[in-house]
Structure 1
Amino acid sequence: MDTLAGKRIVLGVCGSIAAYKVVQVARDLTLAGAQVDVIMTEAAERFVGPATFQALTGRPVLTDMWSLPEDGVIGHVSLGMRADAVVIAPATANTIARLAAGLCDDLLTTTVLATRAPLLIAPAMNPSMYEHPATQANVATLRARGAYVLEPEVGRMAEPVVGRGRLPEPADLLAELRALLGRQHGPLRGRRVVVTAGGTREPIDPVRYLGNRSSGQMGYALAERARDLGATVTLISGPVALTPPRAVTYVAVETALEMRAAVQAACTQADILIMNAAVADFRPAHIAAEKIKKHGDAGMTLQLVQNPDVVGELAHRTDIFKVGFAAETHDLLANARSKLQRKGLNLIVANDAIASIGQPEITLTVLDGEQAVELPRQLKAEAAATLLDLIVARFEQWLLARQPRAGEIAD
C-alpha cells in the first residue's frame, strides 16, 4: 500500500508561475489515496484556477478565511489540526517571510500556525530573490522551528535567467513528502538501513571491464520503500541507468573492492543491511595501463582472482539484521539455503536469474531457516514493496528475540 493512502494533506499554493506544476502534485496525491485540501492564496488564483484543483482532488478549494470545507467545520482551525502533513508549493518569498514572522492574515498562514503536523515548504522564485539575505534568514528561521524546506533546483526560470529557484518536479515533491511522513509515523523511523544495488565492474584496461546484467531496479525500489517507512537510508550502487532516489544518502561505487569499503563504512551504525547488489565474484589479476590491442589471430587469456565476499565478511556482526540475495540459474532453493548459512544471514531472497534479469516482473522466494515464502510474480517495484514489508516484520521479530527475558541480564 502507498504510504500516502488515507493521509490528510493540506496543499498550499502560492502566487508563482510554478503553480502549474502543483496541479500534477494534487492529482498524484489523490491517485495515491490521500485526501487533499487545497488552499490557494489570492495571488495563486492569477496563475491557476481553483476549478482545476477541485476537479483533480474532488474536494472544494479554499481561498479565504471563511471558506467552509465539506464537513462544515470552520476551515482555518480544523484543516491544520486534522492534517497529517502540510505542503506549501510553490512557496513564494512573501509567504516564507510571513510564515517566519508568525503572521496569520490569510487562510494558509493561519492553517500553518494551527497545525502540529510536519510542514514541507518548497520555495520557487527568482534566484536573486531566493539568495537574498532576508529570504535566507527566513528559511533558516523556519528550519530552526522544525519545518522541512526543500531546496529549489538550479535551472532556467520563466524569465531568461538561470539559477537556483526552480520548483522540483512533482515526483520529487511526492518522494520528499513520503520520506517526511515516514520519519513521523513509519515502522522504520529511527532505524538506519543500508541497501546495495546494481552490478560491479572490474576493469580489464582503461576502456573494458567484466560486469553483469544487473539493472539495479530492485535495489533502488527497496531503498525508496525503506525511506518511505521512515528509515535513514544509505544506497550503495554500482553503475546503473537509474536516477538516485530522493531523500536517501547515495554512494556510487564501481568495483567489488569499492563496494566492500562502502558497505563496511555504512554498516558501522546500521540496523539492517539489504545486500541486493550483484557483486562480481572475480576480477582481473592485473589491469592493463593502456587499451589492449589485438595481435593477429592470437587469443587472450585473463587471469582472474577472487573478490572478497562482501556480506560474508560481516557474518560476525550479529547486531545487524542481514538480508542477502541469491540469483541462481539452477538448484535455486538449495543454493539459496547454502548461502543463508555460509554468510550468516537472517534472510535470503532467491530468484531465477534467467527469468528476472532484464524483465519488468519478478518472482521471489524468501528463506528463513527451513521456511520458504514465495511471493507472487509482480512488477519489480511492487515486489520490492512487498518484500520490504516482510523484511520489516521479520526484523521486528528478530528485535523481540534479542531482548533479555525477565530476570536475565543484557550483554
Structure 2
Amino acid sequence: MLSEKTIQTIKSTVPVLEVHGTAITKKFYELLFANHPELLNIFNHANQKQGKQQTALANAVYAAAQHIDKLEAILPVVKQIAHKHRSLGVRAEHYPIVGEHLLAAIQEVLGKAANAEILRAWGEAYNVIADVFISVEADMYKQSQEQYGGWAEFRPFRVARKVKESDVITSFYLVPQDGGAIAAFKPGQYISVNIQIPDDPHTHIRQYSLSDASGKPYYRISVKREDSIQGHPAGKVSVFLHEQVKEGDVLAISAPAGDFTLEQQDAKPVVLISGGVGLTPMISMLNTLAKTDSSRPVTFIHAAQHGDMHAMREHVEELALEHPQLSVYWCYAKPTDRDRVLNSFHKEGLIDFPWLTSVVGTKESSFYFCGPIPFMKAVNEILKEWGVRETNIHYEFFGPASTL
C-alpha cells in the first residue's frame, strides 16, 4: 500500500503530466531503445514513428496519477493492456527495465522540478502498479497455457488457405503445424502474429482480430493491406503478408487474447457496426450469433468506400437469408458506377444520426463498433446523442488504446 504522503505527492504531479506527459513518454522510449534495442522486437515500430504509443502511455501514466488513491478504478484498463502484453510476450523481468527508464525520462524532461521526493514517490508508485500488471499477466499466461489446446507465447501455424476478400483485404486460414488442438476464443478477440522479414534486423509483432467463430479447426485473420498514403509509410507487416506469405508457409502466433468480446448471455438486441477492416471482429461476433442464438435480433451495418473494398459481403447476405432475425445494411462513402447500377448499397455517404436511428429498432440494444478512429468517434457521438446507455456501448481500437 502507498503512504498518504506518496499519494499526495503523485497527485501533485497531475497538472505537470497533463502538460509534459507525451514529452516524458517520448524521451522514455528514446532511452529505453537506446539501452535495450532488443525490445524493438516487441514494440510496433510504426506506432512509435506516428507517436501513437507515446500518447497511449502518456494517457496511462496520467490516469494512474489521477487514480493513485483508488487503483481499482483503472483495473479494466490494466486488464486490457495486460491482454496485449500477454499476446506480445511481455514478461515480469521487463518491468524493472521500464521503471528505471521512466523515472530517468521524468527527471530529464522536468529537470529540477522533479525533485528527490517526486522521484521517490513515482518509483514507489510504479512498483505497486507494476506488481498489479505482473500478477494479472501471470494469471493470463497460466490460463492461456493450461486451457485445452492452449500454449504460452508463440506457436507455429501453417497457412492452409489464403483468400482474397476484396481489393484490400485478404484472409489467412491458420492451422497448427504440430496437428494438435487449438484454444477456443471469445468472439472479438485477436491473435498476435510474430513476423521475421528477410534482411530486417528485428522481428515484428502485430495483432489481428479473429474473423470467424470459435470451434473451427483453424484460426482465420483477415488483413488489410496498408499502402503508403498521405505521408504515412506502408504497413511493413501487412504488405509482407499480402505479397510474400503464401499457402504452406509457417507463421508464429500467440494464443487468442483481448477483452473486446460479445456478451453472449445478454438478451438485448445486438447492433454490430463496422468501418473498413473493422468488420473482422464483427464477423466473428456475427458468425457466433448465427451459430448459437437463432432468436436474438441482430442488426449488421458495414461502411466501406465502395463495393470493391467491401469484404465478406456475400457471406453476410447469405446469413441474412438463413436467419430472419438478422438485418443487414451497407453504407458506401464513394459508391462506384457499378454499385449504383446494381443498387448494392443502402446509404451513400457517411453514417449519420437520422439514418442510423431509422434502421436500428431500439436504442435499448447492445452496440459494438470498430473501424478507423474518425469513424468510431462519429458512431460514438451518434449513440451518445441518441441517449444510449454507456454500459451498452462497446468498441475496440486497432493499435494503442485511445479515447473517443
Normalized per residue, the structure richer in strand is 1
Give the alignment's TM-score, normalised by structure 1.
0.28
Considering only CA atoms, is the larger Rg found in Structure 1 or Structure 2? Answer: 1
Give the alignment's TM-score, normalised by structure 2.
0.29
Normalized per residue, the structure richer in helix is 2
